[in-house]
Structure 1
């Protein structure tokens, strides 16, 4: 999740566990601990793919954060012995461990068990979701203005947790909804990713990796009984095989679970993470190699410039989310006239 949300979660947990004793300072300590795992972004691993795939790595590993919480609790207990070591340990362990657990509900991927196993990405909540964050912020503000009353922060934690549970339930409902349409296309067993569109859990995006095409579906809870619209994008499996000959190509495949779009044009091979953002506005595209006609020449990967997002995109998403528009064409990020589909 975004840094504001992680700081708010940390502050809320600290306020709930130690707010009556530490007062408002508990919120500052909790917010600082809540952002600690994300400090790995300052580390340069040498290439764009390495920086991308190492983020949420060791600093988000339960195997690292759990023992680290004992050390931090010891230091905090010496600094502020007003809390017992056990209470400090409860504060630090709760905050440090819930940070990566919450991140695992997003699409990016969190290496909870680093250095073992692949990243975990439940993909049930967008990286920024106001309906998750606002209850936490409301509880924190109430704590600040009303004094060390933990009921407000506890209420915020309960509401945000219930919302997170709703996101998993909604994800399963959407997955079941699109199953008949995918079965008609022979894609019922193809790799599938179901995730919310930005900032909400009402409108969802389903990405399915077919043999020679990728299918995208946008559907939501306000669509009524309207049939889902399938939008196809070309896919060249042979380029995936070419990329698999490159170390950083294999690393990307592992990190994204194969949800990548490859292109070989203008003398270079690129790979785009299609999980993040939306078509036309995917933020992570990497140059893996050059091709001057004599075959691929691997390069230390670089990241292309992030595509600009049109200002009217929020309005487009709102119209589609509320159901006032029946179809959102991802290829063009436009809303076709009523009764028309995507070309």
Structure 2
């Protein structure tokens, strides 16, 4: 999640744990602890692919944060003695730190909660910025500064509302998953890998990606749709060059669970993460190889500039969120809009 959210979450958690001993200084400490795991962005791993796949690694690991919280609590107690018992002080530090990666694991990007096991965990039920999660935390924290005798209670109210919203996001994800399962049952896509992600700033409109060999199917599903049938769009996914040996490409494929697109642009191999972004706005694109004399040669990774958002698509997205399914075709690039036959394969159900 974004830094503002993590700061607010850390402060709220610290306030709840502190209880009657909560003070503005406790909230500031919780805010600092809440954003501490993201300081790994200051570490360069040498190239953009490594920076991407290793972010939310050791600094977000429960195996690291638990002993680190004990060390911080010990130093805090010795250098700045407080009225807290050591057990409560350790709980405050640990909870403020650990809720950061736990929240991150609900996003699409993925979090290596069990590093050095590098498998990322991604529930993918909430966008990296969602005001409906953040605002209750911020409002109740500001109120707690004004009514200091109710600090812990107000922090608890904000944390409860945000946690309930997080639970709602998981429920909404399951509703969309069940809808897709029902539509694809008995079709050639029934057992294909699929990925779900909320569109920016909400948990009502969802993006669905189904991986199908050298192509993928992309669709939008709103919880306000009257028609449960999703209009999927078929797009070319390309193929991995069989002779190319690239550790960076392997790392990216593992990190995305294979949800990548391969494209040849001039003499470059461009690999795109299909999970993050939507339609034509897929920001994580990397040039990983160069073709010379009909052979692919791995090169140092270069992250390409993100495509600019077209303003004309923003009103369409809002209408689509409200359940207008007639504009699905307008949300894809003109050159990539599907033929009617491509839609029929999924919508009507080509049986196996």
The answer to whether TM tops 0.5 is yes
Residue 325 of structure 1 deviates from its aligned partner by 5.2
- Tell me whether 1:167 sits opposite 2:172 in the alignment: no
Please give the alpha-carbon distance, in whole angstroms, between the structure 2 residues aligned to 1:211 and 1:144.
55
Which structure is richer in relative contact order (CA contacts within 8 A, separation 6 or more)?
Answer: 2
Deviation larger for 320-329 or 42-51? 320-329
Deviation larger for 179-188 or 257-266? 179-188
Residue 21 of structure 1 deviates from its aligned partner by 1.9
Tell me if structure 2 keeps the 8 A contact 1:19–1:148.
no
4+ residue runs over 3 A deviation: 240-243, 311-314, 324-327
Query: Partner residue of 1:221?
Result: 223
Query: Partner residue of 2:157?
Result: 155
Query: Partner residue of 1:116?
Result: 117
Gaps of 5+ in 2: 344-352
Superposition map of 1:189-228 within 5 A: 189-228=191-230
Tell me if structure 2 keeps the 8 A contact 1:19–1:26.
no
Report the 3-state secondary structure (helix = DSSP H, G, I; strand = E; otherwise coil) of the residue aligned with 1:328. helix
Query: Partner residue of 2:60?
Result: 60
C-alpha change, 1:98 and 1:183, in structure 2 (3 Å) is same
Report the 3-state secondary structure (helix = DSSP H, G, I; strand = E; otherwise coil) of the residue aligned with 2:328. coil
Residue 326 of structure 1 deviates from its aligned partner by 3.3
How many aligned residue pairs are there?
335
Tell me if structure 2 keeps the 8 A contact 1:212–1:234.
yes
Report the 3-state secondary structure (helix = DSSP H, G, I; strand = E; otherwise coil) of the residue aligned with 1:327. helix
TM-score, length of structure 2 as denominator length: 0.90
Gaps of 5+ in 1: none
C-alpha change, 1:22 and 1:179, in structure 2 (3 Å) is closer
Superposition map of 1:8-19 within 5 A: 8-18=8-18
C-alpha change, 1:19 and 1:314, in structure 2 (3 Å) is farther
Q: Deviations over 1:168-201 (max 9, x none)?
A: 1111111111223323541010001111111111
Please give the alpha-carbon distance, in whole angstroms, between the structure 1 residues aligned to 2:84 and 2:141.
21
C-alpha change, 1:151 and 1:304, in structure 2 (3 Å) is same
Report the 3-state secondary structure (helix = DSSP H, G, I; strand = E; otherwise coil) of the residue aligned with 2:224. coil
Please give the alpha-carbon distance, in whole angstroms, between the structure 1 residues aligned to 2:325 and 2:145.
42
CA RMSD of aligned residues (A): 2.0
Report the 3-state secondary structure (helix = DSSP H, G, I; strand = E; otherwise coil) of the residue aligned with 1:108. coil
Q: Deviations over 1:186-243 (max 9, x none)?
A: 101000111111111111111000123200110111111352211110122x326455
Tell me if structure 2 keeps the 8 A contact 1:24–1:148.
no
Q: Deviations over 1:131-166 (max 9, x none)?
A: 111111121111111114111110111111111111
Residue 75 of structure 1 deviates from its aligned partner by 2.1
Tell me if structure 2 keeps the 8 A contact 1:229–1:327.
no
Report the 3-state secondary structure (helix = DSSP H, G, I; strand = E; otherwise coil) of the residue aligned with 2:201. coil
Query: Partner residue of 1:248?
Result: 248
Query: Partner residue of 1:290?
Result: 290
- Tell me whether 1:81 sits opposite 2:82 in the alignment: yes
